[in-house]
Amino acid sequence: MSRKNRIGIDISQLNFGFNGITNYIRGLVDLISGSEADLTVFQNSFKKILPFRTAVFKFPLRNFSLRRNWDNAVLPFLAGLYGIDVMIFPYFNCPSKGKFRKISVIYDLSFLKAGSTTEEGAAYFLQGTRNSFSNADIILTISHYIRKELTAQFGEEKRIEVLYPRIEEGVRTRKKDPFLFLCLGTVEKRKNPQAVIDFFLRVLSAEKRAKLIFAGAVRKDYENVFLKSLNGPAGRGGGAIRYEGAVSEKRKKELLDQAAYTFYLSSYEGFGIPVIEAISYGCIPIVSDIPVMREIGNKACVFTGMNEPGIYELPPLFDDAFRNEFYIKGGDALDSYHDSEKAQAEHFLNLLRGTGNGK
């Protein structure tokens, strides 16, 4: 009887809480642990994060030069030590060392296109992405849009596979506050919080009962700009706009249960997990009209501009027929999404088993 395929994955990023990348890593762990593979997770802290067989190594990651050493030297050594057959590197970089199949995850090109990191960080992610195209057997990404972007940037498509993030199935139908709008996620320049405020003030002029909650940490380099926005035009909202700051997972779910609408007016995204998550909670997303939003949200979203929301006609958001139509569209979009995700997941598991196309 042959032994199970030994899969390894670096989960060190999970030390840093919940965000798009950490949610994706958790989804990968859930998917693999539910298959016939023998999973070992690797992390850089003695604090155990997940209840799996774990190889630990005390190693700080916030310093990019130390992170390179972890990626390029320590992980290949540990993978060899544990007899790993396939190693997943879920943070943009793939080392050259190691006699095992390698899978690298690249989420987007925001470090090149959206100014979402420091100069040192952009250099780290760019070199790591180049390493992935040089060394990985499979490059995993999160949308067909990013697959096209990676192909255009690096000139290769064959090894790039798409696997959507895992999202809860089914639309929740709890009673909503029909006047509550939610903007969930990190507050930074490319998320266009000013456009959110401008759109909401137009809503508020038509419906005085409307309320907006921002929930998410503000990036330090954007904090002053955001607070100025809240104290400026937002002040004209007369208390209708509230900022809660970073929220727990429990509070996030409470807000999604309550909100009728969510904003996601980002100028650049690799995917946009909050959009599908919002649909799964029965919210209607108001999103920027960018390609990836068309891919994942399709007809279940209200599309608007990023910097000029006024050029888009304000829809009848508080009309029952309008909302009911979007709830139906949301269910259809979610079914389509899960059908795609399930097919992608089975294909990915076949790749792990070695029955799919590799390098």
Q: Summarize pLDDT for 47-104 with one digit per residue, the tens.
A: 555 555 555 554 545 566 778 888 899 899 989 999 999 999 999 999 999 999 999 9
| Shared domain check, 118 and 223 | no
The predicted structure's pLDDT at residue 108 = 92
In-domain check, residue 170: no
pLDDT tens digits along 111-157 = 888 666 778 888 888 999 999 999 999 999 999 999 999 999 998 77
Q: Specify the DSSP element, H or E, that contains 103.
A: strand 101-105
| Whether residues 122 and 20 fall in one domain | yes
Q: Is residue 84 part of a domain?
A: yes
User: Do 187 and 298 reside in the same domain of the chain?
Assistant: yes
What letters, b where the CB count within 10 A reaches 16 and e where it falls short, cover 303-331? bbbbeebeeeeeeebeeeeebeebbebbb
224 plus 327 within the same structural domain: yes
Does 326 share its domain with 284? Answer: yes
Residues 154 and 17 reside in one and the same domain:
yes
Check residue 148 and give its pLDDT. Answer: 95
Q: Dihedral (C-alpha) 318, 262, 343, 22: value to the nearest 10 degrees?
A: -170
pLDDT above 60 (res 356): no
185 with 333, same domain? Answer: yes
Domain assignment present for residue 110? The answer is yes
Give the domain-ending residue among 132, 163, 194.
Answer: 163
Sorting pLDDT into bands at 50, 70 and 90, what band is 257?
very high
- Residue 28's φ and ψ, nearest 5 degrees, are -60, -45
93 shares its domain with 224: no
Same domain, 159 and 10: yes
Boundary of a domain, candidates 163, 196, 216: 163
Please give the Cα distance from 235 to 231 (Å, whole number): 5
Instruction: Quickly list DSSP for 186-219.
Output: -B-GGG-HHHHHHHHHHHHHH-TT-EEEEESPBP
Indicate the DSSP class of residue 28: H
CATH (domain of 29) = 3.40.50.2000
Residues 159 and 228 in one domain: no
Residues pairing with 105 in the sheet: 140
CB 290, CB 304: distance < 8 Å: no
pLDDT the model gives residue 47: 58
- The answer to whether residue 298 sits within a structural domain is yes
In a domain, 91, yes or no: yes
359 part of a folded domain: no
Q: Using alpha carbons, list the distances in angstroms from residue 40 to 115, 137, 235, 312.
A: 35, 19, 51, 50
In a domain, 344, yes or no: no
Say if residue 334 is exposed, middle or buried (CB neighbours under 10 Å; 0-12, 13-18, 19+). Answer: buried
DSSP state of 176: P
Q: Are 295 and 249 in contact (CB under 8 A)?
A: no
339 pLDDT band, cuts 50/70/90, is: very high
Note the pLDDT tens digit of each residue in 164-215. Answer: 998 876 666 667 899 999 999 888 888 889 889 989 998 999 899 999 999 9
Joined together, the tokens standing for residue 342 give 């399930």
Cα–Cα distances in Å, from 346 out to 45, 170, 356? 31, 20, 10
Range of the domain at 283: 177-338
Angstrom distance (rounded) from CA 171 to CA 254 = 15
How many domains is the chain partitioned into structurally? Answer: 2
- The pLDDT, as a whole number, for residue 25 is 92
Looking at residue 35, its pLDDT comes to 86
What is the pLDDT, as a whole number, of residue 54?
A: 52
The sign of the torsion formed by the CA atoms of 89, 90, 91, 92 equals positive
Q: Is residue 345 part of a domain?
A: no
**Per-residue pLDDT tens digits for 278-310:** 999 999 999 998 899 989 887 899 988 765 555
How many CA atoms, within 13 angstroms, populate the side-chain half-sphere of residue 29? 23
Last residue of a domain, one of 136, 163, 190: 163
Rounded Cα–Cα distance for residues 188 and 209 (Å): 27
- How many percent of the chain have pLDDT more than 90? 42
Q: Does residue 76 share a domain with residue 42? A: yes
Q: How many whole angstroms separate alpha carbon 284 and alpha carbon 300?
A: 7
One domain for residues 205 and 56 = no
55 vs 335, residue with greater confidence: 335
